[in-house]
Structure 1
Amino acid sequence: MTPAGMGLGATIVCLLAWAGLAAGDRVYIHPFHLLFYSKTSCEQLEKADVETPKEPTFTPVPIQAKTSPVDEAALNDQLVLAAEKLGDEDRLRAAKVGMLVDVLGLRMYRTLSETWSDPSGAVLSPVALFGTLASFYLGASDSTATQLQAFLGVPGEDQGCTSRLDGHKVLSALQTIQSLLVAQGRPGSQAPLLLSTVLGLFTAPGLRLRQPFMQSLAPFTPIILARSLDLATDPDLAAEKINRFMQAVTGWKMHRPLTGVSADSTLLFNAYVHFQGKMKGFSLLPGTREFRVDNSTSVSVPMLSGTGTFPHGSDAENNFSMTRVPLGGSACLLLIQPHCASDLDRVEALVFQHDFRSRMKNLSPRAIRLTMPQLRLRGSYNLQDLLTQAKLPTLLGAEANLGKISDASVTVGQVLNSVLFELKADDREQPVESAPQPAGPEVLEVTLNSPFLFAVYEREASTLHFLGRVVSPLHKA
C-alpha cells in the first residue's frame, strides 16, 4: 500500500472506531447512510447521463467589475433563519457530517502544527476545510471523486452509486452545522455570535465554469464570487489584485495575503471565514494587562474578565487545565491552559487528538473568575500544502479529474482558507470591577496570561468549528 493509501486507511479506521463507540450496543446501521445517494437518486442520475443535454456554462466577469460589499449581518440572519426550519433528519445528518469534520479537522490541525510559521499563534476552521474539500468532491469524477470521498473519511465500499457520497447532502449538512452555531436558543439567553463565509473562485480568462456546480455550492455559502483575471503574465500582480478585491468586498485585512500564484494555474479556490463571539457576563477590564509570550517577552493587551459557574478540570499528570465557557445557544468555548508555557506544543499534541470529546466530558462545574485576552486572530493556509504533508500531493494536482467544474481542463493552483477570529466582551455588560462577587463556594481564579489553546465547539451537531493556539494576542500581520 502506498503512503497515501495508508494515511487514508488510518483516517477511515479511526473514524469507524469513533462511530462504533458512539453506537454502543445498538443495531448496526452504516454510520453515513444518510449521506449516500439513494437507489432512486442513482436511477435518476443514470437516466440524466443518457437524456440530459450539455450543462450550461458561464465565463466569470473580470475582477475589476464593480462588486457590492458583503453584508455579513444578512448572511448571519440567513443562518439563524435556516436553524429555525430544521427537521429531525437535518439534525441527524448534521451530526454525521460533524463527526467527519472533527476527525479531518483534528488530523489537519496536527499536520499544520508541524510547520507553524507564525510566532503569534494560529487558527483553523475544520468546517471551512471540510467544506472546501466537499466542494471539490462535487466537481470531481472517477478516481478523483473516490480519493476525495476517502479523504473526507467515508469508505466507498463496493464503489457503486449507492456507496457514493451525495455532495449536495454533505454541503446541506454543513449549512445546518453553521446555522446551529449561531442559533441562540432562548431569546436574550446569550450575546449573539456572527459567522460568515465567502468563496472566491478566480479563473484564467476564457475558462468557463459549469452553472450546476456553482449553484451546488450555495449551501456552503450564498456568497460565491467568481472572477477572471490574467494569472499567467505576472503571477505576483495577479495575487495582489485578488487580495485587494477580497479586502474591498469583505473589509477584512488578510493575515497572510495570497502570494506565489502559479503561472500555469487556471483556477484558484479561496474560502474566507469570519467569526465574532461576544462573551455574555464578561467585560473589558480598564487599561491593558501583561501577557507573557515567553520567559523573556511580555506584551500589554486588553483583557476580558467574568465570573460564573463553568465546567473545569485540571490534569495534574500532564500539567494543564481546561475550562468551558458558553458562547450562545449550544456553542461553547474551550480554553486549554498549560501550567508551563514551554509545554504548549506537548499539550497541543496531547489534547487535540481523536479522544478530544471524552476530555470535554471530564469537567466539573466550578465557580470561577476567568480573565483572558480579548482576541483578534488571523490565520491562512493553503490546502495544497496540507495535502502534500498528508502524502497526497496529487489529489488536486494536474491529473485530477474535475470535469464537473468546467468543460475545459482545470489546473488548480492555491486553495486558500483564511480565518478572521474575534472574541470580545458583550457590549451590554457593566465593568467587572463594579460587579458584586457571587455568594457560595470559593471562587477559583483562572487567568490566561501566557500561551494557551482554544476550540469553539457546537454541542448539538458535536462539531469543532475552530481550533487554535494563542501565543501573542491581537497580533497584527
Structure 2
Amino acid sequence: MHSAIFLCLTLAGLCTVTHGHHLDKGQDEHNSTNPAALKLYKSVADFAIKLYGQLSSASPDKNVFFSPLSIISAFSLLSLGAKSATRTQILEGLRFNLTEITEEDINKGFHDVIPLLTRPNSGFQLDLGQALFLKDDLKPLQTFLDDAKAFYDTEVLHAKFQEPKEAKKQVNHYVARKTNGKIVELIKDLDPETELAIVDYIVFKGTWKKPFDPALTTEKDFFVDQETTISVPMMHGTGWFDYYFDAELSCTVLQLDYQGSATAFFVLPAPGKLKVVEEALSLDTLTKWAERVSRNTAEVYLPKFNISASYELNEPLARLGITDVFSDHTDLSGITGQPLKVSKATHKAVLTVDERGTEAATTTAIEMTPLSPPPTIHFNHTFLMMSFHKETNLTLTISRIAIPNKQ
C-alpha cells in the first residue's frame, strides 16, 4: 500500500516592461566563480525544451507557459527521498547526465544558485521557494528533512490531509500568500490518501530597461489562425533594439532586457513556420541566437498579454522517462521509511506582460536614429517567449503566446 504525495508547482510572472545575453559569448568566464550554475543551466535548458515539446504537441493551437526551474527544483527535492532506480530515473528524466554531474553537484548547485536568483535586485524580483506539507501524524526521516533544509531551504509545515477540504484550504492559502495573490487556487481536489504535499513556487517580476510608452499602445489585429482574428492592445516602440533574423529558421529573435539580471527572447516565426522553429529549439539554437543578436534600429509592435496555464504533469513527465514515482514500483522510502508514491504533480502559471516601467530614472539617454525607415517587427501572430537569468544562464520561463488574452 502506497500513500500519496501531491506535488504542487506554481509560477506567477509579471513582466512590466526593455535589453545581456542568455548563454552569452563570455558565459564560461562570467560563471567561472559559480561552477554550480555552469553545471545546472544546460540540463535546465534541455529539460525546458523537451517538456515544451510535450506540452505544445498536446495542445498545438493553445498557449503554453511554465517554469522549468520550478519543476526541476521540486523534483530534485523529491529525489532526496528517492532510492536506487527511482532516484536515477527522476534525475535522468530531468535531463541531468549523471556521468557528468553527481547528485551532490545537483543539490549543491541549487543550494548555491537560489540565493543568486532571489537576492534583491533593482528592477528585478524573483521569489523562489519550496515547502513540505505533512500529514499531522507523519514523521519524515531526519536525514531527509536535514537535506531538504540544507540544499533547498525548504519549509516544513503540517496539514490536515485526513480532512481534504481543510488541507486544500491550507495549501492554497500558503501558495496565494507566497505568490502575492497571483495563484489563488492551485489545488482543486486532493487524493484522500495524500500524506505529503511538496509545494514549489516562483514569483517573477521585472521592469524593462527600455519601457514602452503607454500612450502609443493601440488596438490592433492579432491573427490566431487563418480563420480567427482578435483585437489586442499592441505596444509600440521605435528606436534601437537587439534582434536577429534567423534566415535558416525563418524567424526574428527580439531580445529585451529587464533591469537587473534577467533578459527575454521574443521569437517571431514567419507565417507558417512555427513548427519549424519549435522543432529546431535546442541549446545550440539558443546559443546561436544569443551570439548573433545585434543592436540596430527597428519599429516594434508587441501585444500586451495576460495568460494562465495549468498542467497535470504525470503524463508529460512519464513520456520524458519519469514513470516510477507515479506507480506502485516507486521507492521513495527515503522520505518516511514507508512506501509513498506521487499521486499528482500539478503546475500552474500566470504571466502578464505590459508596457509599464519604473516611475523615475536617474539618467537620460538620447538615441540617434537614421532618416530611412527602420524594419518593422510585428508580433501579430503566434510567437514564443523565453526568460533567462543572465548571471547563471538558468531558464526561468518558456511560453508560446497563441492567444494573448486567453485565461
Structure 1 length-normalised TM: 0.67
What's the CA shift string for 1:206-260, capped at 9, x where partnerless? 22234553454457765736332236x76x8865664355335544344884345
Which of the residues 368, 373, 386 maps onto 2:298? 368
Count of residue pairs the alignment pairs up = 372
| Corresponding residue SS for 1:312 | strand
Specify the alignment match of 2:44 in structure 1. 101
Percent of aligned pairs with the same amino acid? 19
Q: Does 1:444 align with 2:375?
A: yes
Q: Distance in 2 between matches of 1:437 and 1:227?
A: 56
Specify the alignment match of 1:76 in structure 2. none
| Corresponding residue SS for 2:255 | strand
Specify the alignment match of 2:77 in structure 1. 135
| Amino acid of the structure 2 residue aligned with 1:141 | K
Q: Distance in 2 between matches of 1:240 and 1:354?
A: 44
- Displacement of 1:319 in angstroms is 2.7
Q: Does 1:332 align with 2:263?
A: yes
Specify the alignment match of 1:178 in structure 2. 117
Contact 2:314–2:326, Cα closer than 8 Å, also in 1: yes
Specify the alignment match of 2:315 in structure 1. 385
| Amino acid of the structure 2 residue aligned with 1:195 | L
Specify the alignment match of 1:279 in structure 2. 208
Specify the alignment match of 1:289 in structure 2. 219
Q: Does 1:351 align with 2:281?
A: yes
Q: Distance in 1 between matches of 2:263 and 2:33?
A: 21
Q: Distance in 1 between matches of 2:171 and 2:102?
A: 39
Specify the alignment match of 2:350 in structure 1. 420
| Amino acid of the structure 1 residue aligned with 2:108 | K
**245-254 or 330-339, which deviates more:** 245-254
Contact 1:284–1:303, Cα closer than 8 Å, also in 2: no
CA 1:285 to 1:299, structure 2 compared with 1: closer, same or farther past 3 Å? farther
| Corresponding residue SS for 2:104 | coil
Q: Distance in 2 between matches of 1:117 and 1:214?
A: 41
Q: Distance in 2 between matches of 1:473 and 1:354?
A: 28
Q: Distance in 2 between matches of 1:204 and 1:279?
A: 43
Which of the two has greater strand per residue? Answer: 2
Specify the alignment match of 1:398 in structure 2. 328
What's the CA shift string for 1:357-413, capped at 9, x where partnerless? 223323332112323123333333333232222243214533322233224332322
| Amino acid of the structure 2 residue aligned with 1:324 | Q
Contact 2:70–2:202, Cα closer than 8 Å, also in 1: yes
| Corresponding residue SS for 1:139 | coil
Contact 1:336–1:454, Cα closer than 8 Å, also in 2: yes
Contact 1:320–1:338, Cα closer than 8 Å, also in 2: yes
- Displacement of 1:102 in angstroms is 1.2
Q: Distance in 2 between matches of 1:266 and 1:139?
A: 14
What's the CA shift string for 1:148-205, capped at 9, x where partnerless? 33334444459xxx9543454132134155248x746xxxxxxx11212243434444
CA 1:374 to 1:198, structure 2 compared with 1: closer, same or farther past 3 Å? farther
Q: Distance in 2 between matches of 1:373 and 1:237?
A: 40
Specify the alignment match of 2:89 in structure 1. 147
Structure 2 length-normalised TM: 0.77
CA 1:285 to 1:421, structure 2 compared with 1: closer, same or farther past 3 Å? same
Which of the two has greater helix per residue? Answer: 1
Specify the alignment match of 1:196 in structure 2. 127
| Corresponding residue SS for 2:210 | coil
Q: Distance in 1 between matches of 2:92 and 2:377?
A: 42
| Amino acid of the structure 2 residue aligned with 1:323 | L
What's the CA shift string for 1:421-464, capped at 9, x where partnerless? 3333204279xxxx987333743322222221011123332222
Specify the alignment match of 1:468 in structure 2. 399
CA 1:367 to 1:343, structure 2 compared with 1: closer, same or farther past 3 Å? same
CA 1:218 to 1:376, structure 2 compared with 1: closer, same or farther past 3 Å? farther
| Corresponding residue SS for 1:93 | helix
Q: Distance in 1 between matches of 2:366 and 2:79?
A: 54
| Corresponding residue SS for 2:324 | coil
CA 1:467 to 1:450, structure 2 compared with 1: closer, same or farther past 3 Å? same
| Amino acid of the structure 1 residue aligned with 2:76 | A
Contact 1:265–1:411, Cα closer than 8 Å, also in 2: no
Structure showing greater radius of gyration is 1
Q: Distance in 1 between matches of 2:39 and 2:90?
A: 17
| CA RMSD, Structure 1 to Structure 2 (Å) | 3.6
Q: Distance in 2 between matches of 1:227 and 1:422?
A: 32
- Displacement of 1:469 in angstroms is 0.8
Contact 1:127–1:174, Cα closer than 8 Å, also in 2: no
Q: Distance in 1 between matches of 2:245 and 2:301?
A: 17
Where do 5+ consecutive residues of structure 1 fail to align? 1-71, 73-86, 185-191
- Displacement of 1:272 in angstroms is 2.3
